[in-house]
Structure 1
Amino acid sequence: MSAGYITTGGSDRYHTGVDCPAFQRGVRGSEAQGNTLRPVIPLTPEQAGHVRQTPCPECCGGSAR
């Protein structure tokens, strides 16, 4: 995705892409619990600075804002 970041409606973090290990763990955990996966929402860097989520410490280094 070229937006810069991604998130989902139920996440408390945003990530640099779907290949982030933390994002993938979340997907696998949701699937294991039988939850319906929420759509991925692309975010521009400006949007990421204004969402309620925090940057992922693994792929964003925790300081992308």
Structure 2
Amino acid sequence: MTDVWVTAAGDRYHTSPDCMALQAGQEGGRVQGYELRDIDKVDLDKARAFGRSACAICGTSRLA
């Protein structure tokens, strides 16, 4: 089992909750006044089953 991190509103999965793209998305939402979604740890297969694709920053180099 491989864990990845996602938010309910996103369409990508991340290999780390500290990914700069994930954090930048959270900060952008905060600045724009959006209600932020929690960053949740899920199984990679589940993320893919829900149509998520790999983050261009952290996801493509670490996961096949």
TM-score > 0.5, shorter chain as reference? yes
Q: Distance in 2 between matches of 1:36 and 1:62?
A: 30
Q: Return the TM-score normalized by structure 2.
A: 0.81
Give aligned-pair identity as a percent.
30
Query: What SS does the aligned partner of 2:5 have?
Result: strand
CA RMSD, Structure 1 to Structure 2 (Å)? 2.0
Counterpart amino acid of residue 16 in structure 1 = T
Moved over 3 A (4+): 62-65
- Work out the number of aligned pairs and report it: 63
Indicate if the aligned counterparts of 1:5 and 1:43 stay in contact, CA closer than 8 A: yes
Give 5+ residue unaligned stretches, structure 1. none
Higher share in helix: 2
Q: Which residue number corresponds to residue 37 of structure 2?
A: 38
Q: Indicate the residue corresponding to 1:52 in structure 2.
A: 51
Alignment of 1:1-65 (within 5 A): 4-61=3-60, 64=63
Contiguous gaps of at least 5 residues in structure 2: none
Shift of residue 62, structure 1, vs aligned partner: 6.6
